[in-house]
Structure 1
Amino acid sequence: MTKQTVDFDKNAPMAGSEYDEIAPLALPGYEAMHQMTLACLRAKLFDEANLLVVGAGTGMELVRFGKGNSKWQILGVDPSENMLAVAKNKIEQYGLSEQVKLFQGYTNDLPDTPIYDAATSILVMHFIPDDGGKLAFLQSIAQRMKSSSTFILVDVFGEKGTDDFQEMISLVKKLWEETGITEAKKAEILETMEKGVNPISETRVLQLLKQAGFGKVIRFYTGLWVGGWMCVKN
């Protein structure tokens, strides 16, 4: 997992304990994107499978996936000690400690053996600059996946500085008015977007997935500036 421009231990846009409260408000369709991701995994995986969750964060998807199928063995990878502490508490709370394991670090710190039947990256890659880092990130995941396995990527997407992206920001701001995010928190999120988030166009997303060794890509989710793609490791 390539290093991110936002360090969620040292300069996090929000505390780990606050993330679970703010993220569903700030990101359009937060609940739906996770539901759809689980549906995609259920459609593609056998009852017994090894699942890699890259950028496990506070563990929302770890718990959801673990509860979604009790026979899946899940490894959550994240560099943030603070975020994983929150995830660990959730895993223990839901009695998933035997099924869900945690690894503090990056994907390229894991063994190279391709043992995973599926992998997910939800709201992670947009923190990585497109200077070779995004491609290396995707390649590090692909390297650890079995042939024909399923990969799901969910990210903020679009090209900064374009009229379309500015229009999308305007729509997101209106959504935030409906969800009750404070003006101060709106400003913080937008500052993080400007300084620490590196979205790319869908065309570029598809190009990078192909270069990393993925094919049969479909977009299964769109929530304003958030997109979700499902593909297959070649």
Structure 2
Amino acid sequence: MSHPSTSPAGKFDTSRAHEYARQSRIALAGYDACHDLSACMLAASLGTDRTATVLVVGAGGTAQEIIAMAALEPQWRFIAVDPSEPMLDAAMQQLQAHDLLDRTQIHLGHVEDLPADASFDAATLIGVLHHLNGDQPKRDILRAIQTRLKPSAPLIVAGNHYAYASQPLLLQAWAQRWRQQGASADEVQAKLGKILQGADPPHSEAAVRALLSEAGFGAATRFFSSLFWGAWLASKAS
């Protein structure tokens, strides 16, 4: 499947991939906790001590969702999909360090590139939606995941929501988070400028729920929150 050169994957070049692990943990207070809880939510939904194949969309960077799920459920296997080669390379380094390459199939590309008749027990979409400009690409990726899930299979969706400028207090708290980690005033302003120009989050929690419903998922359960970030579990509607 062809994709325009303006794809958000272009933002995740080698330079960004190299800094992703540190930057993401600063930008998201509770980064590891969110991934750990995502694994717990999927295990609670699927049941423990069973085999499962999990589709991990946007797996590049830290591969933290795979690491967390694999530690909790040793019989699960993973299909990791990401359109950024540098980010996938970074993820593969982490998977190799955790001895997980034999449990993970790596696909450079998009969900739509996977076979239409693929059938997964669960899926994750963490840190992706807010990088897609406009509602239609968000619907498209959710629908592409939905069609490749088994009936009633769970999906974890996590990412930023709210238009950033609409929440000035949260935005200023985000600035303080960077300052807390040692960034200078100029660096903080540069970070905020990049954030305001570089993403298009759903504008509310209701918008996230609407996108999930339109893509064929049932009611979503929110289980994590951190400033602009939220995480939900929803299941494929019957």
* TM-score normalised by L of structure 1: 0.90
| Residue 123 of structure 2: aligned partner | 119
Q: CA deviation at 1:188?
A: 4.0
Q: How many residues align?
A: 230
1:79-115 deviations in Å (ceiling 9; x for gaps): 1111111111221222112211210000011111241
| C-alpha distance in 2 between matches for 1:158 and 1:180 | 26
> Please, which runs of 5 or more residues in structure 2 have no aligned partner?
none
> Please, which runs of 5 or more residues in structure 1 have no aligned partner?
none
| C-alpha distance in 2 between matches for 1:218 and 1:8 | 30
- Are the aligned partners of 1:28 and 1:226 in contact in 2 as well (CA < 8 Å)? no
- Greater RCO, CA 8 A, separation 6+: 1
The answer on 1:216 being equivalent to 2:219 is yes
| Residue 180 of structure 1: aligned partner | 182
| C-alpha distance in 2 between matches for 1:130 and 1:104 | 23
3-state secondary structure, aligned to 1:145: coil
Identity of aligned residues (%): 30
| C-alpha distance in 2 between matches for 1:184 and 1:34 | 31
Alpha-carbon spacing, 1:211–1:78, altered in 2? closer, same or farther (3 Å): same
* TM-score normalised by L of structure 2: 0.89
- Are the aligned partners of 1:5 and 1:197 in contact in 2 as well (CA < 8 Å)? no
Q: CA deviation at 1:118?
A: 0.6
The answer on 1:36 being equivalent to 2:37 is yes
| C-alpha distance in 2 between matches for 1:87 and 1:79 | 12
| C-alpha distance in 1 between matches for 2:72 and 2:185 | 36
Q: CA deviation at 1:130?
A: 1.9
| C-alpha distance in 2 between matches for 1:226 and 1:55 | 16
Q: CA deviation at 1:219?
A: 0.8
CA root-mean-square deviation: 2.0
Bigger shift: 86-95 or 134-143? 86-95
3-state secondary structure, aligned to 2:200: coil
- Higher strand fraction: Structure 1 or Structure 2? 1
| Residue 144 of structure 2: aligned partner | 140
| C-alpha distance in 1 between matches for 2:142 and 2:126 | 12
Q: Which amino acid aligns with 1:65?
A: M
Bigger shift: 110-119 or 176-185? 176-185
| Residue 193 of structure 2: aligned partner | 191
1:9-45 deviations in Å (ceiling 9; x for gaps): 44x7x52121111110111211211111111011112
Q: CA deviation at 1:175?
A: 2.3
3-state secondary structure, aligned to 2:154: strand
| C-alpha distance in 2 between matches for 1:92 and 1:32 | 22
